[in-house]
């Protein structure tokens, strides 16, 4: 993970923090997310629901 958002809000407005943090290595579903290119670097933007596991 290069960057992580602030989390998601419930219907009542409560903020739920993400389970991952910048620097974590994660496994994601095949074909998940959107690829974005920044210069020579390619990043994949994925939602929390597409993260299968945090590799430790």
DSSP for 1-56, written as a single string: -------EE-TT--EE--S--TT-EEEE-TT-SEEEEETTEEEEE--GGGEEEEE-
Tens place of pLDDT per residue across the chain (56 aa):
899 988 889 999 999 999 899 999 999 998 999 999 999 999 999 988 899 999 98
State residue 48's pLDDT score. Answer: 87
pTM above 0.85, yes or no: no
Instruction: Check residue 1 and give its pLDDT.
Output: 83
Q: Are 46 and 33 in contact (CB under 8 A)?
A: yes
Give the whole-angstrom CA distance, residue 32 versus residue 40: 21
């Amino acid at each position: 993970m290069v960057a992580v958002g602030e989390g998601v809000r419930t219907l009542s407005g409560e903020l739920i923090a993400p389970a991952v943090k910048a620097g974590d290595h994660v496994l994601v579903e095949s074909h998940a997310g959107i690829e974005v290119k920044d210069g020579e670097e390619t990043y994949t933007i994925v939602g929390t629901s597409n993260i299968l596991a945090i590799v430790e």
